[in-house]
Amino acid sequence: MLTSPRSLLILISIFLAAPANAQPFDVGDEVILRSDNPRGVPIHRLPRSSLVGFAEQGASAVIEDTAREGRWLRVTMDDAQAWVLASNAFTSDMEIPNERPSDTDRTLLLDAPCEETGPRERLTHPLFVVCFDTSWRIPLWVAYRLSPNAMSGPGDRKKSSWEQDTRIAPLLQAFDREYVGSGWHRGHMAPAEAFTRTQPAVDFTHQFSNAVPQSGSVNSGAWSKLEKHVRGFVEDGATVWIFTGSLSLDLKKECLEPPFDSSCRCLSAAGDRVEPERRMDIRQRRIAVPSHTFKTFLVEQDGEWDGFAFVMTNIHRPMGSFFDYQYSIDRVEGLLGLDLYASLDAATEETVEANTISISSKRRRNRCP
């Protein structure tokens, strides 16, 4: 029987994701729980979903059932039952690590190239990192990390106003007046809704080092829904590392002015990297308007990694569902000419950056090639 390439990819992904302690467990086995999560061992109501809390490191448990080819275990701890990842369980004859090893340096996951020797400046801050292009006067990329214990709070974007970034010379970034009447939104790259932990954090997202001219139909539609979907991973207990930014690709002529052909929404309508063809200020041609905006993100939960990428054409046309604009991280990196997640260990990087399996739980098909 022939196996499709998609089936092979799924089988390979399952093999690579198998727990390092590949010894099969049996119902009734007594195990010790340990993980590299500083909050403890994640426990779930169901496999891979419904995080309900954390067990203490070194907690004892008894296996009651298994799921997903043995990668998940239903265990009893002090008369309570929960699901845990099998790679977080160890029997008495296995070596129990004091600290779970990892080949990925998570502190470097937002450390992508920025080519600071040219017209680009790297702006670092505890909230997010910006690679800012002073010739385009917009960010090339903005990188940030979201975790369950540092996202929601009392911050309110309605109390914020747009300001210039004091780290950049005023003439090398946008002025608020240039957006007024331009037909373009001030498109957040690091979204305000992800930084409501404090009011100063929300305020910090309202700087022009964190904005690109973005179509309102994209910004308030599919793009906004994608950002909400990313936050959903964090609300379910995952940690997410995100790069979002701008692309300048050679668009077909029929994609530069309305009415836009439906094919303009897909990357197949774009060519190689070029200098921006559109500028927001027609008289001074100061601010570049990107042809596309992108978002890539790594999702880590209970020792498992997933990777997703989305690219949307920056045109004044409703984009429909964001599910239709999913691509691989590899493809976005090729368009940028950058390796965004170079600090990932080789095996994880090869698997997650090539992923094109739909982010949708309904496994709907991407309409764009």
Of 135, 167, 183, nearest to 287 (Cα)?
135
* Dihedrals phi, psi of 158, to nearest 5 degrees: -65, -20
Tokens of 307: 């990777």
Q: How many angstroms separate the CA atoms of 284 and 42, rounded?
A: 55
Q: Which helix (H) or strand (E) holds 186?
A: strand 185-188
Choose, from 44, 188, 229, 292, the residue flagged as catalytic: 188
pLDDT value of position 114: 93
C-alpha dihedral sign at 134, 137, 140, 145: positive
CATH class of 106-352: alpha beta
C-alpha dihedral sign at 51, 52, 58, 59: negative
How do residues 187-223 score in pLDDT, each as one tens digit? 999 999 999 999 999 999 999 999 999 999 999 999 9
Enumerate residues 6+ apart whose C-beta is below 8 A from 289.
184, 212, 213, 276, 278, 279, 280, 314
**Cβ(314)–Cβ(290) under 8 Å?**
yes
Catalytic residue list contains 185: no
- Hey, is 135 helix, strand or coil? coil
Residue 361: C-alpha distances to residues 102, 114, 358, 365 (Å): 29, 35, 8, 11
pLDDT value of position 49: 60
Instruction: Tell me how crowded residue 272 is: count the other CB atoms within 10 A of its CB.
Output: 8
Q: How far is CA 92 from the centre of its chain?
A: 38
Enumerate residues 6+ apart whose C-beta is below 8 A from 65.
27, 73, 74
Q: How many angstroms separate the CA atoms of 274 and 87, rounded?
A: 46
Say how many residues make up the chain.
369
- Hey, is 51 helix, strand or coil? strand
Q: Is the peptide bond before 259 cis (omega within 30 degrees of 0)?
A: yes
pLDDT value of position 23: 58
pLDDT value of position 8: 43
* Dihedrals phi, psi of 30, to nearest 5 degrees: -90, 130
Residue 224: C-alpha distances to residues 190, 216, 220, 246, 255 (Å): 12, 10, 5, 16, 22
Tokens of 356: 């094109």
Q: How many angstroms separate the CA atoms of 346 and 348, rounded?
A: 6
pLDDT < 70 stretches in the chain? 1-23, 37-39, 48-51, 97-103, 116-117, 281-284, 361-366, 369
Q: How far is CA 281 from the centre of its chain?
A: 31
pLDDT value of position 178: 92
Helix locations, the chain, DSSP H: 5-16, 176-179, 199-205, 216-217, 223-235, 329-336, 346-352
**Cα angle, residue 306 at apex, residues 301 and 312 outer, rounded to 5°:** 125
Q: How many angstroms separate the CA atoms of 313 and 303, rounded?
A: 34
pLDDT value of position 15: 40
Fold of 26-101: SH3 type barrels. (2.30.30)
Residue with tokens 């448990």: 61
Enumerate residues 6+ apart whose C-beta is below 8 A from 301.
42, 48, 51, 233, 236, 237, 238, 239
Domain positions in the chain are 26-101, 106-352
Instruction: Give me the half-sphere count of Cα atoms (radius 13 Å) on the Cβ side of residue 198.
Output: 5
**Cβ(73)–Cβ(90) under 8 Å?**
no
pLDDT value of position 97: 64
pLDDT value of position 21: 47
Q: How many angstroms separate the CA atoms of 19 and 84, rounded?
A: 12
Q: State the binding site for Mg(2+).
A: 219
How do residues 90-119 score in pLDDT, each as one tens digit? 988 887 766 544 567 888 999 999 986 579
Tokens of 161: 């106003």
How do residues 162-197 score in pLDDT, each as one tens digit? 999 999 999 999 999 999 999 999 999 999 999 999
Indicate the DSSP class of residue 163.
B
